[in-house]
Chains A and B, each alone.
Chain A
Amino acid sequence: MDIHFNHGDVTPEERQAVDCILGEPESGWRGGPRNADRDGHAALGEGGAGARRHLLLPVLHAVQARMGWITPSALNYACQRLGLPPAEAYGVASFYGLFSVSPRPLRVLHICDDIACLTQGAEELCARVEQALGPPGSATVDGQATWYRSACLGMCERAPAALLSVSGERPYEKVLAPASAAMVSKALAADAIDAAGEPPDHFDAAVSVPQTSLPAASNLMLLRRMGSADAESIDDYRAQGGYEALRRALLLGRGWVTQEVAAARLVGRGGAAFPSAKKWDPANQPHYLVCNADESEPGTFKDRVVMEGDPFSVVEAMTIAGYTTGCEKGYLYLRGEYPLAGERLAHAISAARARGFLGDNVMGRGARFDIEIRRGAGAYICGEETALFNSIEGFRGEPRNKPPFPTQVGLFGKPTVVNNIETLINVLLIVREGGERYASIGTHGSAGPKLFCLSGHVARPGVYEVPFGATVRDLIELAGGVAGTGRLQAVLLGGAAGAFVSPAQLDTPVTFEGTRSIGASVGSAVVMLFDDSVDLRKIILRIAAFFRDESCGQCVPCRVGTVRQEELLQRLARGRPLGSVETELGMLKEIGQAMRDASICGLGQTASSAVESALRRWPLFESPASGDQKGARDE
């Protein structure tokens, strides 16, 4: 693949897939029929080369959905249309996990074998599927289908999970969760291939938000509409208080909202806990609002549940944020593996537009704001805000150096406000209740209500809302206690980039200050339980493999460090250390330190966090003579 256009003939299907995003070509130079009279003396129309590069990712999605993979001839045609060198576009296509640049069957199943699903039999599921269909990636059902192992699909409350992706004339995607070997075989079976009208994905609040069936459900603030309002009805949403916050914000003005958000002491819920009022500072003159819905941290699914169960709240909150900060355009960057959330949000946006709640005159108050959804394509790194900008702009999703920060130089080089889903829906509460009242919820250092993702060996996995201040034990009890053997071995707090804590630390409040005191973090609010039947070595190996796979490869410390970390753990797991176990563990620390010190972004900086925390607490790899591997060091 070089910088020239290769003249592989584009098929009508490929052309159609690309044109459905870009429209008909306006000149022969951009993929239209050659017309020497019209095109002989100038290239007209479609802007300059690369001017519509930001449509590359949607185009690749369209090609993948139609053809099952990114064919060279389609890529070529897309490049002609966009005025991009094919090598550049190939670099983008090959960056994303959901795209294939080599031939692939139309029907593909991704089976999650990440840590939450591992506790729920993902390994056994993969083994049975492999027995029936052959190893991952091998074509099955007459070459019409295949399956792959996948990193966390964000369906942890319904583990083990699988995502079915069907390309062709009527492409669709569907989540199978909890998945069984029988469901997998049926989904990939020959007779399913032409089956039109697959049953739509569903959202069951009772499963994903178990609190809705608890007596205390009426105390819920962020999740109060879950299951009681029809997620596809704007009237239902309004009947339950929807759009009151936007009306109030428009009435009281942007200055008031800014002031209340500051008074609320709201900090970002995406993991970094940055004060939202600073991002919303009008002095930055922001141009774009970006909602980061690229929730990909293993064990995290709260944003998905909000988008699936209460999509209008996301739209309303973005509208308030756009109005308050003066942004007229909002992008919602949605994780590629969330088909139902995508459908529901798209529906909510068009319904809001139809009612005049989005558009040139929001609620008749003269404010202008609209939202565009951009789908990711399977890249954990795109949750990093600057990588996300690059992804929207049509580049490889590689993080940028900071500074400059997004508030100064963000999307398309303009000052940008970027918030995640949970942060934004808190704004609805702040506008409704007022900043001070909101700040009185929770603890001094951590204001407001908080969503947690309980998964693993817990009786009722799901998203839970509690005021900040609840301890790990409170959360486990709320979720019905430890499941599996009933004997808790370890809890992963904050996700793969977080830290393991031992049962002795369950009384730690899961607040910013509380977790810091035990060397952990709130992170993306993952609380994943492992009973004493789990081999923690397998868990940290899976985490190391995850980071190795998801490192974007841009900076050396992370690209090399994540590989070295995994290799080292593999050697220890096989009982074949280079030198002694002690020298290996010393090396592991050095690798972690180098990644923390020198990586461009948070991925590399936290890639050793969970692994190192586990090895600090449990002597997982020390020689059998030195004692029981499962005996926790600090117990």
Chain B
Amino acid sequence: MIEVESLTKKYGSTTAVDAVSFSVKKGEILGFLGPNGAGKTTTMRILTGYMPATSGTARVAGCDVANQSLEVRRHIGYLPEAPPVYPDMTVAAYLDFVARIKNVPAERRASCVSDAMHKTNLDDKRDELIKHLSRGYKQRVGLAQAVVHDPDVIILDEPTVGLDPKQIIEVRHLIKGLAGNHTIILSTHILPEVSMTCDRVVIINKGKIAAVDTPQNLTTQLRGGQRVRIEARAPEAALREALTHVEGAARIQTESASDGRVLATVEAAEGQDIRGRLASAIVEKGWPLFELRGVSLSLEDIFLELTTDDSAHAQPAA
């Protein structure tokens, strides 16, 4: 559905996007993960026909974004970073306007508008002026505008930014619900968001693709092994000693907390689940064990790993 080949965008002497290539299959949700200024927005803007690339090609639904821009724009719905709304319009009037400029035929317009409002839970705000809506509702209006013409491809630039936790969950459900019939690209800098909604992830940093894979593969591959956090009441040195004897445990860090408790972090060798062994090692000594859990890597960890460590992981898989 979307094929991007060695796409490059330069602003003067700075390169915002550097030879990026990836593809998205029909019905897939692709997550664009990267820190601010990594080139996510620029890539999306090129895909939507908002700005031309310096070099490289991108095709959406078989049409070239540079030469068949109008045709491409017919196939996409796009939510920019800031929802592109007119504050003086009501929600319904605004969505009607968007449906018109997206070439929705007159007889389907009313149903498209109410569908979009229904999907984004805006039914009760239909006649409110957009300027009176809260940040979260404006974001939903932005989402509704991106889906009102039932496009093949939906491009969402940080769709959950500025929403409260409940709304974030709603938006994630909405995005998942749209998948299948629609191909979706969304950008974010929140790792859990990607693992919860996306089929595949493109990690982008400083304009370059650092990795392309499924969220599951990416986290296990990058983790190399497992990291476990332990909270127990025990003498710090003794606990350390006991943990070093557990088979497969490495890089043990401890720090004492209040109330005689100790927090310990243990990394396991690749491919081993050492949580059971750690638990029995502590319980055997008769120490009260308060907590023991596997820790997933944060985005920062992944970035550190991808940008500083060996580049073995950094080969794009697709």
Same complex for A and B? Answer no
**Footprint of B on A, CB under 8 Å?**
none
